[in-house]
Amino acid sequence: MWRRVASLSSSISSYSTSFVAQTASRLNTWESLTTGIAIAQQGKGFIAPKEKTPFITFVLGGPGSGKGTQCVKIVETFGFTHLSAGDLLRREIASNSADGVMILNTIKEGKIVPSEVTVRLIQKEMESSDNDKFIIDGFPRTEENRVSFERFIGVEPNVVLFFDCPEEEMVKRLLNRNQGRVDDNLETIKTRLQVFEALSLPVINYYSQRGNLYTIRAKGTEDEIFEQVRPIFTTFDVCHRAVE
């Protein structure tokens, strides 16, 4: 299991008292998971050694780009733990917890679930995992998501995969997948694609400038597309797991 104590930014003094309390509690959680390590205080933040830095991959792409299928292949081939922000939110709703009720009400009101809530669910899954390799599917969707993740988790992704698929191909896939989803109609699909472009392209451009974005031409067979993905993780010397 990887464990890490996130550093507090010097700008924390500008936050509200309640936010500071939440952040301190989050730090205490990380600290309790780290055994036999002395925490050194430096300036206004806390810095502690970590057993092993997690290898984090973000997977981005429009609806119908095939990123979900490729996530399965990455997990099977390289032994990553797959985390889907949407699945985590739905699971929290099904648990009927206080956060789940809040998430459901937020969605019903047509509002966006606060980034902090989504990041907290991702963080919880990472903390409880014995793995140190994570592939996070469909996240961050927005610049706010990205900033919140880096603020609370305290690290940037090692790899950001962007499955770049022609719009006509995504539309065709969504119309043909026959999963019974009410949003799989042409008008709604077009809207979803527009929303993706407006919200996610700034994130993609940011990571492109950071130098950790890998664009995958997401047209062709599943295996053809994966052959573009495989060398990326091989370059990083990510250990393989035998495929059963």
CA distance 3 to 126: 9
65 annotated as a binding-site residue: yes
90 is in an annotated binding site: yes
Instruction: Say how far apart CA 214 and CA 160 lie, in whole Å.
Output: 6
Q: Which of 217, 244, 220, 214 is nearest to 232 (CA)?
A: 214
Is 131 annotated as contributing to ligand binding?
Answer: no
Is residue 68 part of an annotated ligand binding site? Answer: yes
Work out whether strand 55-61 and strand 45-47 pair parallel, antiparallel, or are unpaired.
unpaired
64 has binding-site annotation: yes
Q: Is 69 annotated as a binding residue?
A: yes
Q: Are 153 and 143 in contact (CB under 8 A)?
A: no
* 145 marked among binding-site residues: yes
Q: Residue 146: how many CB atoms within 10 A of its CB?
A: 22
For residue 84, say whether it is annotated as part of any ligand binding site. no
Give me the phi and psi of 30, to 5 degrees please. Answer: -60, -40
- 136 annotated to a ligand binding site: no
Q: Is 56 annotated to bind ligand?
A: no
Quote the DSSP letter at residue 190.
H
Q: How far is CA 84 from CA 14, 58, 133, 178, 225, in A?
A: 32, 10, 14, 21, 20
Q: What's the farthest any 2 CA atoms get from each other in the chain? A: 57
Q: Is 50 annotated as a binding residue?
A: no
Q: Which residues are annotated as a binding site?
A: 64-69, 90, 111-113, 138-141, 145, 177, 181, 192, 220
Q: Which residues are annotated as a binding site for CMP?
A: 145
Q: Which residues are annotated as a binding site for ATP?
A: 64-69, 177, 220
Q: Which residues are annotated as a binding site for a ribonucleoside 5'-phosphate?
A: 90, 111-113, 138-141, 181, 192
